[in-house]
A and B are shown apart, each in its own frame.
Chain A
Amino acid sequence: MSSVRVLVGTRKGAFILASDARREQWDISGPHFAGWEIYHLKGSPVDPNRLYASQSTGWFGQLIQRSDDGGKTWEPVDNKFVYDGVPGTHQWYDGTQHPWEFKRVWHLEPSLSDPDTVYAGAEDAALFRSNDGGKTWQELPGLRAAKGHLWQPGAGGMCLHSIVLDSSTPNRMFIAISAAGAFRTDDAGQTWRPINRGLKSDYELPDSTAEVGHCVHSIAMHRSRPGVLFMQKHWDVMRSDDAGETWHEVSGNLPSDFGFPITVHAHEPDTIYVVPIKSDSEHFPPDGKLRVYRSRTGGNEWEALTKGLPQSNCYVNVLRSALAVDSLDACGVYFGTTGGQVYASANSGDTWAPIVRDLPAVLSVEVQTLP
């Protein structure tokens, strides 16, 4: 019987939630790395027992942990993230130039074909790759050459938070940075170019349609339809039908088009999910109602999913990496909140139930579907 493993990163450790395909009874293990911020954990699609975790604190810096047994045991691997060459400067909050400084890894993306190859998205924004299971890391510096001097940190830091690998075009990859925008490589990371045409940031940028500088919060793609990308921007939910060449808004009837995560249904490439947040100055759901919104039309037409979610006095946030799906026949949807709840739906979002209610603030949620 198939099963699912939900990998949860929090402000104070990692938790692994496991269930059979019914997704009714859950075993919870953790905290792993208690007391550390776990920005992200993710498993290899070709070896599900190979997991990578990003572990950090302000005191002791960055660590990368690796598990080869599905999270039962972990080993620290290399944590040396050094920018290639002289890293130069990027734009600072006050408009001056500021040196690039490594702070942490926000996202780990294992290769689609090799469990020893994994990408790391860093703050200050850069992309690193390991080809030896995390033992050594090398930057792909061509990314910062894509007008990096014009990138600037958002309130959460200048972070590379989204990495999307394209299985149909192996040398193609998409990444997104706050606040720089989305970028694409077609040569396995050697060279990159901004793909932000169509984005409008009237309240965030002096030139609202600038080539770079947009505060992209997350991007998602369905593997069966690699030319179609979805984006939750600071404000606006966006869609591209040409691999990021152009974008158009699909916010439609959302109660707010501000938010952080976006994801795509496992089997329906036009079914997408977002969690609207009131505004950039009030990071909680509109009207105190925690609602996931689902579009079955690839955007513009949205329905609120509320059954089992708190519909009064709820003032949590759902961060950009904290929404994910499984790939069981009845697609499961999962998200974590800054209030420490992890909610699951075993029916594509129709109904929800908490797996756990009182974890530390949830930073990330990833799901593995196991045979």
Chain B
Amino acid sequence: MIRVVLPQHLRTLARVGREVQLQIDGPVTQRSVLDALEAQYPMLRGTIRDHVTFQRRGFIRFFACGRDLSHELPDVPLPDEVALGTEPFRVVGAIAGG
């Protein structure tokens, strides 16, 4: 199972805990993970990536295995640890303060 960690606001919206698990058949990529996430939790559509262009929203980041994967192309395979479920794919709200 693929493990995905969501930021607090999206956990509240989806009514889930810190981490969700997804079944993905085929390559494990940003696109396939987000497709599966939105299929399982439709209320998250549009909150992580645009409805139409599927571009990542500007203040969203994707981290895994200590790396920032935000700027990877959506069909690039994610690290093996994510595909094997030993490490989570983290959806993160970008830092902002004041």
Interface residues of A (CB under 8 A from B): 35-36, 57-63, 76, 79-80, 82
Taking CB atoms, residues of chain A closer than 8 Å to B13 are: 60, 63, 76
Contact A80 B47 (CB under 8 A): no
Closest B residue by C-beta to A57 = B9
Cβ of B71 under 8 Å from chain A: no
The B interface, classified by DSSP as helix, strand, loop or mixed, is loop
Q: Interface residue tally of chain B, by bracket?
A: 10 to 19
Cα A59 to Cα B9 in complex, Å, equals 10
**New A-B contacts (18) at CB < 8 Å, excluding given A59-B60, A62-B46, A79-B45:** A57-B9, A58-B59, A59-B59, A59-B93, A60-B13, A60-B48, A61-B46, A63-B13, A63-B43, A63-B46, A63-B47, A76-B13, A76-B43, A79-B46, A79-B47, A79-B51, A80-B46, A80-B51
Contact A61 B9 (CB under 8 A): no
Contact B57 A60 (CB under 8 A): yes
Taking CB atoms, residues of chain B closer than 8 Å to A63 are: 13, 43, 46-47
Chain B min CB distance to A228 (Å): 40
Contact B10 A60 (CB under 8 A): yes
Cβ of B52 under 8 Å from chain A: yes
Contact A60 B52 (CB under 8 A): no
Interface residues of B (CB under 8 A from A): 7-10, 13, 43, 45-48, 51-52, 57-60, 93-94, 96
The A interface, classified by DSSP as helix, strand, loop or mixed, is loop
Listed by A's residue number, 24 A-B pairs whose Cβ atoms lie within 8 Å are: A36-B9, A58-B58, A58-B59, A59-B7, A59-B9, A59-B57, A59-B59, A59-B60, A59-B96, A60-B9, A60-B10, A60-B13, A60-B47, A60-B48, A60-B60, A61-B57, A62-B46, A63-B13, A63-B47, A76-B13, A79-B47, A79-B51, A80-B45, A80-B51
Taking CB atoms, residues of chain A closer than 8 Å to B60 are: 59-60
Cα A61 to Cα B46 in complex, Å, equals 7
Chain A min CB distance to B6 (Å): 10
Cα A62 to Cα B48 in complex, Å, equals 11
Chain A min CB distance to B50 (Å): 8
Chain B min CB distance to A282 (Å): 22
Chain A min CB distance to B53 (Å): 11
Taking CB atoms, residues of chain A closer than 8 Å to B8 are: 35
Cα A63 to Cα B51 in complex, Å, equals 12
Taking CB atoms, residues of chain A closer than 8 Å to B7 are: 59
